[in-house]
Chains A and B, each alone.
Chain A
Amino acid sequence: NAGVMQNPRHLVRRRGQEARLRCSPMKGHSHVYWYRQLPEEGLKFMVYLQKENIIDESGMPKERFSAEFPKEGPSILRIQQVVRGDSAAYFCASSPNSPYSNQPQHFGDGTRLSIL
């Protein structure tokens, strides 16, 4: 999974702090997706972004969560005022062409967020 780079791999925050998770897609990929995995669960879609555009954020909690994919630099998933329930593994994926052409998404190794 070296293609999609996520950092940090582990992040510990206290309740009320902010968490910033970064994702650099595979070279040549312009579509980025974020998923969240709670313990004993499958991955759940959060948001789909292209450069400078949020295409679909229907899986994102309405409050405290935001995502961006700027023209330069990695995609950022930002969680403000974290709570215990935000503890999870957050995975980023990318794909090369239009996602409407049935291309598989390739995943990074995730960021494991722990809230104290």
Chain B
Amino acid sequence: DQQVKQNSPSLSVQEGRISILNCDYTNSMFDYFLWYKKYPAEGPTFLISISSIKDKNEDGRFTVFLNKSAKHLSLHIVPSQPGDSAVYFCAASGSSGGSNYKLTFGKGTLLTVNP
């Protein structure tokens, strides 16, 4: 039972355009969401997070939007750069039962930014 779903295995975007990566979740107890970026043969690098009390968080070129009613979040990257090419993982955790250390990951979306 996949509680965090990234339905697009891959996405290709032109340099300078916007990249939009999507993530859906099924567990209504999730209240903290994160995006990680991963290059081959490296570990995931934390990008940006959002708490369920917010619907938007912005950090430079990266913005995460949260739609709690739809159980959907998205990561916007604008403008996209070739160095953004990587696998992006959506992750979630929930504070219920004191287990908000346990991250549940999606399968990832491979973003390719073409020059």
Which chain B residues have a beta carbon within 8 Å of chain A's beta carbons? 4, 32, 34, 36, 41-46, 49, 51, 89, 91, 95, 98-108
CB neighbours of A55 from chain B (8 A): 101
Q: Which residue of chain B is the closest to A48 with respect to CB atoms?
A: B101
Q: Is the Cβ of B44 less than 8 Å from the Cβ of A102? A: no
Q: Is the Cβ of B34 less than 8 Å from the Cβ of A44? A: no
Q: A56-B99, A105-B103 are in contact. Are A42 and B89 (CB under 8 A)?
A: yes
Q: A100-B95, A104-B34 are in contact. Are A109 and B41 (CB under 8 A)?
A: yes
Q: Is the Cβ of A107 less than 8 Å from the Cβ of B43? A: yes
Which chain A residues have a beta carbon within 8 Å of chain B's beta carbons? 1, 4, 6, 31, 33, 35, 40-45, 48, 55-56, 58-59, 91, 95, 99-100, 102, 104-110
Q: Is the Cβ of B89 less than 8 Å from the Cβ of A43? A: yes
CB neighbours of B105 from chain A (8 A): 35, 42-44
CB neighbours of A100 from chain B (8 A): 95, 98, 100-101
Q: Is the Cβ of A106 less than 8 Å from the Cβ of B46? A: yes
CB neighbours of A104 from chain B (8 A): 34, 46, 49
Q: How far does the alpha carbon of A65 sit from the alpha carbon of B21 in the complex, in Å?
A: 35
Q: How far does the alpha carbon of A95 sit from the alpha carbon of B32 in the complex, in Å?
A: 15
CB neighbours of B95 from chain A (8 A): 100
CB neighbours of B104 from chain A (8 A): 45
Q: Which residue of chain A is the closest to B35 with respect to CB atoms?
A: A104
**Shortest Cβ-Cβ A-B pairs, 7 listed:** A42-B105, A99-B101, A107-B43, A104-B46, A109-B43, A43-B105, A1-B43
